[in-house]
Structure 1
Amino acid sequence: MIEILNDEELARAAVTGQLVGSILQELRSRAGVGTNLLEIDQWARSLILEAGATSCYVDYAPSFGRGPFGHYICTGVNDAVLHAKPHDYRLADGDLLTLDLAIVKDGVAADAAISFSVGAAREAGDEALIAVTEQALAAAIDVARPGARIGDISHAIGTVLASAGYEINMEFGGHGIGSTMHQDPHVANDGRPGRGVRLRRGMLLAIEPWVMADTNQLIVDDDGWTLRSATGCRTAHSEHTIAILEGGARILTIPAGPVG
């Protein structure tokens, strides 16, 4: 299903998107060396509920997971890049942390992810890994406008990632979003321009370039959810929800300010 939102729904989407961005910013500011991933999950829960929103994750039980996800945010550390379940782990100096958050407020969902280094230490390559996902996201948003096609977005992402020397996994990517978190169309992280669904005003897309430093292969943890690089290499993930408008794309998941 592909939803086309009217002006009133787009206004509500903007509110949800700002809330997602603000919660992620708040969690980033709180997370530091010694923070437990389960603490981040509880902070996310409190911020979501205080804002009158609903988590997209707690009861989420798609075909590729094992039962309901059961948490409020994805917390990927180092080699964990997607669907990472919070667990009893305290962040160490130099960890590369990815936070991925999706919520629904007033009937409209928004989804975003950020990756960043924890503490003062930096492992070689982490900054470049994060930067390339952000650059690929910016390139994708730049071509997203009415009349363009999904393949144009995928090609923009793939061009940036491949030019930087990274292999691209095609199993998981971005997606349509609206009254529910995951909708059509699928937005692969590489593709051919001029192909796929044509973009229309009122469409929402969650675009999410992600990479692994030296592989394109994933393995699944025993929890049935957390996806890690097959080689144990570092990973990064950047995501925004955008609205397709007459003049191009509007990024919805930019933080409006502190929450809570």
Structure 2
Amino acid sequence: MVTVKSEQEQEIMRENAHLLSEILRQITDAAREGVSTHELDMLGEKLIRAVGAEPAFKGYRGYPASVCTSLNDEVVHGIPSKRRVLKKGDVLSIDTGIRRRGYFADLATTMVIGDDASDRVKKLLHVAWEALDRGVAQAQSGNRVSDISHAIGSYVESQGYSVVKTFVGHGIGRAMHEDPQVPNYGPAGKGTKLRPGMVLAIEPMVKEDPAEVEVADDGWTARAPNGGLAVHVEEMVLITEHGPERLSRSR
């Protein structure tokens, strides 16, 4: 069921998104060559609890960590590990969430380890962020969910990349995953009509490999089956009468 948030609920979610934006920034600042993804997870959990929140991911459907750390050809849900030490040039997607005052926040960003990203990586990241911006621009009261989906998917494909279809964006509030689902593909003009007070997590997952992702033996890590790089970006957006309000900043 789609939920429309009251002004009080919107303010709580706005606070949560701002807090999580800062937490994500601190995690990305700590992601350097020689640091393990386990260390990033431990830092993330410490920062989350320091603001009086709970890690939204830890224990969710059995997920074992507070932060998802996906490397290179991994798209989403990579499990942090002491054995996974970051190297210069790694493409790292960081996805994390909190629960505070009864409401969830969920954000993701992708970065490159080291000072210099290759032109290949820069282009992929540019396309992902531009796709997100185009999706957010369609998050207008009176539009349909698939207007967001079409804006993202059509742009990504026009740039020679593909979007993940197995995993999608979503509504968010008292539950981390609420209706409506927000795919990154499909025709415009379909699905739930957007109304003021709805909060959406819009999250393009963009990859070089045209094949759909496969889930690894750990039951979580989704990767491109034929290799190639993948990136994941996500922000929370409130639908208002005056247009979309970005509650978060993940870059």
Q: TM-score category by the smaller chain?
A: over 0.9
Report whether the alignment pairs 1:160 with 2:136: no
Deviation at 1:254, TM superposition (A): 2.1
Q: After TM superposition, list the pairs within 5 Å mapping 1:1-260 onto structure 2.
A: 1-61=1-61, 68-88=62-82, 89-254=84-249
Deviation at 1:26, TM superposition (A): 0.7
| Partner residue, 1:64 | none
Tell me the SS of whatever aligns to 1:178.
coil
Q: Distance in 2 between matches of 1:156 and 1:23?
A: 29
Which ranges of structure 1 fall in alignment gaps of 5 or more residues? 62-67, 256-260
RMSD of aligned alpha carbons? 1.2
- The aligned amino acid for 1:18 is H
Task: Decide whether the 8 Å contact of 2:140 with 2:243 is kept in 1.
Answer: yes
The total of aligned residue pairs comes to: 249
Q: Distance in 2 between matches of 1:56 and 1:216?
A: 30
Say which structure, 1 or 2, has more relative contact order (CA 8 Å, 6+ apart). 1
Task: Decide whether the 8 Å contact of 2:163 with 2:204 is kept in 1.
Answer: no
Q: Distance in 2 between matches of 1:208 and 1:120?
A: 25
Task: Decide whether the 8 Å contact of 2:198 with 2:238 is kept in 1.
Answer: yes
Q: Compute the TM-score of the two structures, normalised by the length of structure 1.
A: 0.93
Q: 1:195-239 deviations in whole A, cap 9, x for unaligned?
A: 100001110100000111132321222211010110121110110
- The aligned amino acid for 2:189 is G
Tell me the SS of whatever aligns to 1:211.
strand
Q: Distance in 2 between matches of 1:24 and 1:132?
A: 21
- The aligned amino acid for 2:40 is I
Q: Distance in 2 between matches of 1:129 and 1:173?
A: 19
Q: Percent identity?
A: 36
- The aligned amino acid for 1:245 is T
Q: Distance in 1 between matches of 2:121 and 2:215?
A: 22
Task: Decide whether the 8 Å contact of 1:111 with 1:253 is kept in 2.
Answer: no
Which ranges of structure 2 fall in alignment gaps of 5 or more residues? none
Q: Distance in 2 between matches of 1:214 and 1:59?
A: 30
Tell me the SS of whatever aligns to 1:34.
coil
Deviation at 1:124, TM superposition (A): 4.5
Task: Decide whether the 8 Å contact of 1:218 with 1:230 is kept in 2.
Answer: yes
- The aligned amino acid for 1:10 is Q
